[in-house]
Amino acid sequence: MADKRVQAAEAVVQSLRTGERVASQRAAEHLADNVVLDTGREQVQGKAAVLERISGDWPFTSTYKQGGWSEPQPEGDKLKVTAAFPALGAAPAGLNLTFSFDGDKVSHIQQETLAGGPPQQVDRIPDHIKGQINSALYNGTPVVVTYVDESGQPKSSLRGSTVVFNDHQLGIWVRDANGGLPTATKVNPKVSLLYRDSKTRSTIVVEGRAHVSEDEEVRRRLYELTPEVEQLHDTGRKGAALLIDVVRLQGGGPKGNYRMQKE
């Protein structure tokens, strides 16, 4: 009897972990008609509904596929499976599944999702986040910059020239020195920036205050830090050197979660 229960738990885990059709069909053989899945946020009741939730492609299925899953271990008359996942931004750190049985059929699944730890507080932009921002254009994940224009209307645009200028500042070479972004920040310097790479589940959100620098050394350095494809749009270097003093940064990804707060 114990072996059949282990088989049942393993079949459910395989279906949840992979979402594959064959695994789902195998799991269906081991579910009681009145099975309940308790996720901690909701209770899914009935064989058909539970089977749907442990099958197919769900938001965390890609995370589950990369996890390390234990063999079913006895806990009294129940079986428990634990999983640990690699650091993947907002993804969970782990998962516990506790199985109850009616005979050899799974009658109840208690799911406990383990969140990652709190963000690590830092006083400068971490090196790996520098790398993500500096390679954003090459990676096909250019940074989105949002500012408020003179009429009070929020504006968002992709800025391929966004780079990390130093430990506490970002820089953007703006090809049109009289364009909306440099003009607006003279009145309202508050800006926000968003980086997202879904492949690595990495997200970086920055809030800061922007200003145009007329310093020739700053202009030279920022232009030369800018990707060549962006430089080619302004070979005469007529653009504006926009510096952003980072006020708040929140970043999450494979290296963990980080927070930088200046005010």
Q: What is the CATH number of the domain that holds 19?
A: 3.10.450.50
Q: Tell me, yes or no, whether 79 and 170 share the same domain.
A: no
Q: How far apart are CA 238 and CA 142, in angstroms?
A: 22
Q: Tell me, yes or no, whether 59 and 14 share the same domain.
A: yes
Q: Tell me, yes or no, whether 105 and 156 share the same domain.
A: no
Q: Tell me, yes or no, whether 57 and 156 share the same domain.
A: no
The count of structural domains within the chain is: 2
Domain C-terminal end among 65, 99, 114: 114
Residue 209 predicted with pLDDT over 80: yes
Mean pLDDT value of segment 85-113: 90
pLDDT tens digit sequence for 17-64:
999 999 999 999 999 999 999 999 999 999 999 999 999 999 889 889
Domain C-terminal end among 87, 114, 141: 114
Q: Tell me, yes or no, whether 243 and 131 share the same domain.
A: yes
Q: How far apart are the first and last CA of the chain?
A: 61
Q: Tell me, yes or no, whether 88 and 144 share the same domain.
A: no
Q: Tell me, yes or no, whether 134 and 252 share the same domain.
A: yes
Q: Tell me, yes or no, whether 62 and 162 share the same domain.
A: no
Single out the residue of 99, 90, 83, 127 nearest to residue 36, CA to CA. 99
HSE-up (13 A, CA, CB side) for residue 122: 21
Q: Tell me, yes or no, whether 82 and 151 share the same domain.
A: no
Residue 42: per-residue pLDDT: 94
Domain C-terminal end among 98, 114, 130: 114
Q: Tell me, yes or no, whether 28 and 53 share the same domain.
A: yes
Mean pLDDT value of segment 87-101: 86
HSE-up (13 A, CA, CB side) for residue 144: 11
pTM for the complete prediction? Answer: 0.70
Residue 93 predicted with pLDDT over 90: no
Residue 1: per-residue pLDDT: 46
pLDDT tens digit sequence for 65-84:
989 999 999 999 999 999 99
Residue 262 predicted with pLDDT over 90: no
User: Residue 216 is part of which domain span?
Assistant: 120-261
SS3 assignment, position 176: coil
Percent of the chain with pLDDT over 70: 98
Residue 89 predicted with pLDDT over 70: no
Q: Tell me, yes or no, whether 129 and 246 share the same domain.
A: yes
37 sits in the region (left: phi over 0; alpha: psi -120 to 50; else beta) called: beta
Q: Tell me, yes or no, whether 138 and 256 share the same domain.
A: yes
HSE-up (13 A, CA, CB side) for residue 91: 29
Q: What is the CATH number of the domain that holds 197?
A: 2.30.110.10
Residue 119: per-residue pLDDT: 84
